[in-house]
Chain A
Amino acid sequence: MRMPLAAADRVLRWGLLALCVAVLGFLILPVLAVIPLSFNAGSFLTYPLAGFSARWYLDFFTSPRWLPALSNSVFIGAFATVIATVLGTAAALGLDRMGGLPRQVLSALFLMPVVVPVVVIGSSLYGLFAALGLTASYIGLILAHALLGAPFVVITVTATLSGFDRGLLRAALSLGATPIEAFRRVTLPLILPGIVSGAIFAFATSFDEIVVTLFLASPQQRTLPLQMFDGVREQISPTITAAATLLFLISMLLVGVVELLRRRTERLRIPGSTVT
């Protein structure tokens, strides 16, 4: 009586395992499958490869379309990140000193750009910016990307603040530090990992942003995602796989940094505090 049950059990367990391996493969393999194609010597996006070559990377770094797109992305991303980080950090510090309804309402407002469909944000910004003459301008794109990045800074800084030992601040103040000194020498170093992770999230958001950019950018402000979007839509060339591989490596680099920072915060966290 017991034996068949155990056998059925084993089948179930192996079935579960097989399904999970398949799902993990589904998640990871498509992304990885593009990378070898970017080194293909032939110009067809099919396997088997026609030989190894770096020609598509050469094309990426010499073409008059891809390189300016990369520099546009970095330029817009950098400014948007600075705005998002400064505003988001200040807001998180402010929210931390608030309570009750104002805090709830303001947090909800600050996080809303993540929830609202990006098409609605893009379309409405286009309407406003067209009236203000900000469409097809770097400033318009930077402001829009800062809006989309700021919620992530608020989230990460709020999370580091929630594990922050207020005793340290009181100790600094009781030892004669001015509030500004106490902030600079106690609070800031402790929440810095949160600020940096938030900044990386904000940069990654801008670097990856396509929908709002489609509404607001003119050919002059063509970013890397926009160039990819047009490339995919018109004629998918192997250079796109080189660009995709580079973008993939950049995002992996950014995740790596965020993960390192997270571990650092984890170590500094006072024991028993909760992560939200």
Chain B
Amino acid sequence: MRCVLPRLSAWLLVLPLFLFSAGTFVVPIALMLVRSVQDPEFATAFPQTAVELRRWDGQGLPGRAAMGHFIAELRTARGTERLSFAANRLNADTSGFRSLLLRTTRMLATVEEGDPAEMLARIDPRWAEPATWAAMRRAAGPFTDYFLLAALDLQRADHGALISVPADRAVFVGVFLRTLWVSGLVTLLCLLLGYPLAYLLASLPSKYANPLLILVLIPFWTSVLVRTTAWIVLLQRDGLVNTLLCQIGLIEQPLALIYNRTGVVIAMVHVLLPLMILPLYSVMKGIGRAPMLAAMSLGARPAEAFLRVYLPQSAAGVGAGCLLVFISALGYYVTPELIGGGGDQMISSFIAFFTNRTTNWGMAGALSLILLLATGLLYIAYARLSRGMRLAR
């Protein structure tokens, strides 16, 4: 009894937060990710056709039965919202499909009854092409790799092979590369600015270091919106930075510092710099001054002692700080949204777009999955690194 009781009480104490996290965190994210492989729109509007198309071997045209169901279901779906959703889904696969489907629905009343294949072909010759039916088969669900492939700018050809999407629709690889590039640049700048400051703070006696550390913590604690507002005020066309640069004669015309990538990088470095400085500082505090002094007493120049003794010892802090900044930058939303230029959005902006504007859960889920995978892998690296740091101390 003495053994069981504390264990049971431990579980009971943990349970409420466990259930809460499950309901507000695990379940919603799982549902969103599942939606990235689900393909419900076509099957909702054309349930029988979807079943027939899934049975079809994909060679030539589907059988009479499938086409007959299709015509019957087109008639019942006419004017409904589910037809519109299905049309959107097909149009995302093959452009022009939306108008084809809606026109066919209208025209069905005008052609005379007969062989389903001939009826459809009379309305539009595209119904006699296997590619049209292959596109519908790809959308027949219930599961699809369409969204995951689309997130990588890939699609399936009619015979099932992977091909790149047309250049005018290939945006996401570019978005991912841009996100990685901006995050990498921000991380590098944070390291270049943060390392010397952390080094100085760690080498100062705490009497001086603590007040200076507060100067690092104040922006860390200040609302991201306050800081973003500050940068907009400072960097705008007639803002403080441009005015000062003009007055000291460095520039003649105000620079465009905002609503472009320059502004995003400046503001993101400002927001994320404390995340670099704090882990660096704690590692450097652990190293202390002794190794440098020892190296110099053995005849090393200060620069040499730094490069060969101090830098390698602080590598864990560099790694942890860089990963922390990079992870945060990858998913950054507010600052790029407010300061960034049009057409220069990062991945999180697209997730928000597909959620709020177009309610395209498949794409939102697929992009989230990729972002989560990247974040998760980097976080595991960070956790290992910081555990190593703790053990080493």
Q: Please name all residues of chain B whose beta carbon is closer than 8 Å to the beta carbon of A31 when the two chains form the complex.
A: 218-219, 222, 226-227, 230
* B239 x A46 contact (CB < 8 A): yes
* A147 x B20 contact (CB < 8 A): yes
Is A37 engaged at the interface, CB distance under 8 Å to the other chain? yes
Is A112 engaged at the interface, CB distance under 8 Å to the other chain? yes
* CB-contacts of B198-220 with A (<8 A): 199-200, 212, 215-219
Residue of A nearest to B26 (CB): A109
Is B7 engaged at the interface, CB distance under 8 Å to the other chain? yes
Give the number of residue pairs across the A-B interface with Cβ within 8 Å.
241
Q: Please name all residues of chain B whose beta carbon is closer than 8 Å to the beta carbon of A91 when the two chains form the complex.
A: 13-14, 16-18
| A144 to B25 alpha-carbon distance, docked (Å) | 9
Is B273 engaged at the interface, CB distance under 8 Å to the other chain? yes
The stretch of A60-68, A92-100, A191-199, A265-273 that contacts the partner chain: A92-100
* B29 x A116 contact (CB < 8 A): yes
Is A19 engaged at the interface, CB distance under 8 Å to the other chain? yes
* A254 x B200 contact (CB < 8 A): no
B21 touches which of A113, A125, A126, A211 (Cβ 8 Å): A113
Given contact pairs A208-B224, A247-B225, A94 touches B25 in the complex (Cβ within 8 A): no
Is A30 engaged at the interface, CB distance under 8 Å to the other chain? yes
Q: Please name all residues of chain B whose beta carbon is closer than 8 Å to the beta carbon of A240 when the two chains form the complex.
A: 229
- Using C-beta atoms within 8 Å of the partner chain, give the interface range for chain A: 35 or more
Q: Please name all residues of chain B whose beta carbon is closer than 8 Å to the beta carbon of A136 when the two chains form the complex.
A: none
* CB-contacts of B247-269 with A (<8 A): none
B331 touches which of A46, A110, A120 (Cβ 8 Å): A120
* A229 x B13 contact (CB < 8 A): no
* B364 x A90 contact (CB < 8 A): no
* Minimum CB–CB distance for B257 against chain A, Å: 12
Q: Please name all residues of chain B whose beta carbon is closer than 8 Å to the beta carbon of A255 when the two chains form the complex.
A: 217-218, 221
Is B27 engaged at the interface, CB distance under 8 Å to the other chain? yes
* A124 x B229 contact (CB < 8 A): no
Q: Please name all residues of chain A whose beta carbon is closer than 8 Å to the beta carbon of B229 when the two chains form the complex.
A: 34, 228, 232, 236, 240-241, 244
Given contact pairs A27-B215, A124-B32, A97 touches B9 in the complex (Cβ within 8 A): yes
Given contact pairs A121-B25, A233-B338, A248-B223, A215 touches B355 in the complex (Cβ within 8 A): yes
A120 touches which of B231, B240, B372 (Cβ 8 Å): B372
- Name B residues whose Cβ lies closer than 8 Å to a Cβ of A: 6-7, 9-18, 20-21, 24-29, 31-32, 35, 193-194, 196-197, 199-200, 212, 215-219, 221-234, 236, 238-240, 243, 270, 273-274, 301-303, 327, 330-331, 333-334, 338, 348, 351-352, 355-356, 361, 364, 368, 371-372, 375, 379, 390
Question: Can you name 27 A-B residue pairings with CB atoms under 8 Å?
Answer: A5-B301, A16-B196, A28-B219, A31-B218, A31-B227, A45-B236, A47-B243, A94-B10, A97-B13, A109-B18, A113-B21, A116-B331, A116-B372, A117-B371, A117-B372, A120-B29, A122-B355, A123-B364, A126-B356, A150-B21, A204-B221, A208-B225, A229-B334, A232-B232, A247-B223, A251-B221, A276-B390
- Name A residues whose Cβ lies closer than 8 Å to a Cβ of B: 5, 9, 12, 16-17, 19-20, 23-24, 26-28, 30-31, 33-34, 37, 44-47, 83, 86-88, 90-91, 93-98, 106, 109-110, 112-113, 115-128, 143-144, 146-147, 150, 154, 204, 207-208, 210-211, 214-215, 225, 228-229, 232-233, 236, 240-241, 244, 247-248, 251-252, 254-255, 276
